[in-house]
Chain A
Amino acid sequence: MELAFSLLTGAITAAGVALLLRGDRFRVVLGIGLLGYAANLFIMASGGMLVGRPPLMDVTTDPARAADPLPQALVLTAIVIGFGMLAWLIALALRAGAETPEGKPSSKEPGS
């Protein structure tokens, strides 16, 4: 299972990076999304690859039979934050929809 898991995470990361490096906004958004998933999977793996062990249990039970609860808590937070950020990025990309042609940033921004 370790092999399949790491290959899968690697494949998602590679796809994310490849999309991120493309010029247009839609692919970049997809790339960021995929990278986020890969990072989440990676966090899950950092607690060890365990199957069928609960993260929360009684104090009296042997800790060796429990899964590490911390990465699970982390990944939950990371998913929530990643989701929010992705939503923002999509909104931003949509708003930017009809800006100047790609690769030609307008030098006069209506700032200040």
Chain B
Amino acid sequence: MSHLIALPFVLPLLAGAVLVALGERARASRWVTGLASILGLVVAALLLRQVHDSPISYQLGSWPWPVGIELYADRTSAALVLLSAVVAAVATLPAVGYDAGRGRHFLALLQFQLAGINGSFLAGDLFNLFVCFEILLISSYALLVHGHERPPRAAIVYTVLNLTGSTLFLIGVALVYGATGTLNLADVTARLADLPADTRGFGLAGAWLLALVFALKSALLPLGLWLPSTYAVASPTVAAIFMLLTKVGVYALMRLYGPWLDSSAPLASVGQALGVAAAASALVGALLALASRSLRQLAGSLVLVSVATALMALSAGGERAAAAALFYTLHSTLAAASLFLVAACVARLRGKAGDDLTTSPPVTWRGGLVLLYFGIAVLVAGLPPLSGFIGKVGALEVLARTPNGAALVGVLLTASLLGLIATVRAGNALFLRSPAEASRAPAGSGARTTGGAAALMFGLSVLLTVFAGPIREWVDVAGTQIGSPRQLRSLSQAELLEEPRP
């Protein structure tokens, strides 16, 4: 059995521990971070190749399934692990020199967060999902207040909200375990669909609670309004990495409810609720984008829209819907991360004014940055020819086939239009209406690295566009894996009593 699947979780943990031990030694910390990023990318790429033919199920401690703790990777998990490796690697480039100097243990916290994110994508059972959620949350609490003298109010709201969410998660896990007698994700979903009458109520209550928690993490209305204000107080490079946090929520929803959304199982009603909440949150997110006062707020509001789009597609139910949601998630993470990095670049160029949407002081670095911004605007709005268009068409395609197709398509297009107006207006204020001045980035502000990282992230989206054909085919298979129940093998009594062989 290959142990590769554990590495995306173990590597960042080790790197984080080394970074804590290194403490204030900046040079060595950078090397370790760089090495961890590269290794993370390599491991993620290898994992992607390994799951190409069939999913991997890895039993910790070699206990037979489903008694032991399982790590599970199918194409969806592997793609998301690669996505997180890429986003983390690119977004740490500008953070290494800048944010790391503004407080202690910044780089270590980033690695711990990455461990939590990857762990969530690979966890095969509910409780490990909970533990990995907590790992990424505790790092995010610390990263959010990083660089602030006093914790901003939004950070406290975020912490309290997520702690409450964790409590609900625990209660949901307990209910599901009490009803089904298992914690293994695949086993849980299979059993929840077919519960005996006396435990059905408990099981479904647990499933609904878990859906609520995942909706909170993926910032779905009415639980999503924390996101724009929270991301607006985070350092923009941190916000770029926080992009992955909402995806963890989306992934959990896909994993747990994906197989049942188009069936007549009682769990399918979760999908209907998700669809309604997602449609509402797409519209409200777009309106918030119009009202935002800084580039980070704008990006945060657009995240609401993009997560909602992915979940609307998912809630249509079925394998194609899951594939569309996955592709849109890949695209939107890269797009939003590059927008946050542009915000970081603008903030560093303008000093005190930060990334507020005002005409003065002008952004002193024209040309490249302006082009990049409007490229990203096209990407985020889903206009052709970039990957946003391909992703959105995929989502519209599955939505059009649902009973309320016309309304949902209308909602999605309206939200896209509003989002486009908001991005163009912001770009207008920042770049076009301000007086032209010097056209070079001031040295030493870190703006060049940040701009470079934003361009790199944008370049990756372009790659996603160029190779959209093969990637779509690959993602379609991923959709059939996550969108249908996993084939399960029940365990015989003899196997159960057998001693585990290490």
Contact = CB atoms under 8 A, between A and B. Distances in A.
Interface in A52-79: 59, 70-71, 74, 77-78
Contacts of A109: 148, 152, 154, 232-233
Contacts of A35: 164, 167
Contact of A99 (B153, B170, B173, B296): B153
A92 B164 contact: no
Contacts of A25: 156
B173 A59 contact: no
B456 interface: no
Given A88-B141, A92-B145, A42 B170 contact: yes
A45 interface: yes
B138 to A, nearest CB: 7
Interface string B354-377: 110000000000000000000000
A95 B141 CA distance: 14
A46 B160 contact: no
Given A85-B134, A109-B148, A112-B236, A20 B164 contact: yes
Contacts of B166: 81-82, 85
B285 to A, nearest CB: 20
Interface string B340-355: 0001100110000011
A88 B153 contact: no
Contacts of A98: 150
Given A110-B148, A111-B232, A71 B153 contact: no
A100 B134 contact: no
B441 to A, nearest CB: 15
Interface string B134-178: 100010011001011111111110011001101100110111011
Interface string A80-112: 011011001100110110111000011101111
Given A88-B138, A89-B160, A92-B159, A77 B131 contact: yes
A34 to B, nearest CB: 10
Contacts of A14: none
Contact of B170 (A78, A84, A95, A110): A78
Contacts of A40: 170
Interface string A5-33: 00000000000000010000100100010
Contacts of A38: 167
A95 B183 contact: no
Contacts, number: 115
A39 B134 contact: no
B153 A105 contact: yes
Given A111-B296, A112-B347, A28 B141 contact: no
Contacts of A81: 131, 134, 166
Nearest to B157: A105
Given A77-B131, A81-B134, A92-B141, A43 B344 contact: no
Counting contact residues on chain B (CB < 8 A from A), the size range is 35 or more
Interface residues of A, number: 40
Given A28-B160, A81-B134, A84-B138, A95 B151 contact: yes
Contact of B151 (A39, A82, A92): A92
Contacts of A46: 174-175, 177-178
Contacts of B234: 111
Given A109-B233, A111-B147, A100 B174 contact: no
In the complex, which of the residues B134, B156, B167 has the most CB atoms of chain A within 10 Å of its own CB atom? Answer: B167
Contacts of A99: 150-153
B208 interface: no
Contact of A85 (B138, B177, B293): B138
A105 B234 CA distance: 15
In the complex, which of the residues B166, B229, B293 has the most CB atoms of chain A within 10 Å of its own CB atom? Answer: B166
Contacts of B160: 20, 28, 32, 89
A46 B154 CA distance: 35
B163 A85 contact: yes
Contacts of A70: 177, 183
B138 A74 contact: no
Contacts of B177: 46-47, 70-71, 74
Contacts of A95: 145, 150-151
Given A36-B167, A112-B348, 9 more contacts: A32-B163, A40-B170, A43-B173, A43-B174, A46-B178, A89-B159, A92-B151, A96-B150, A112-B355
**Which 9 residue pairs spanning A and B have beta carbons closest together?**
A112-B347, A46-B178, A46-B174, A105-B153, A39-B170, A43-B174, A109-B233, A35-B167, A39-B167
Interface of A: 20, 25, 28, 32, 35-36, 38-40, 42-43, 45-47, 59, 70-71, 74, 77-78, 81-82, 84-85, 88-89, 92-93, 95-96, 98-100, 105-107, 109-112
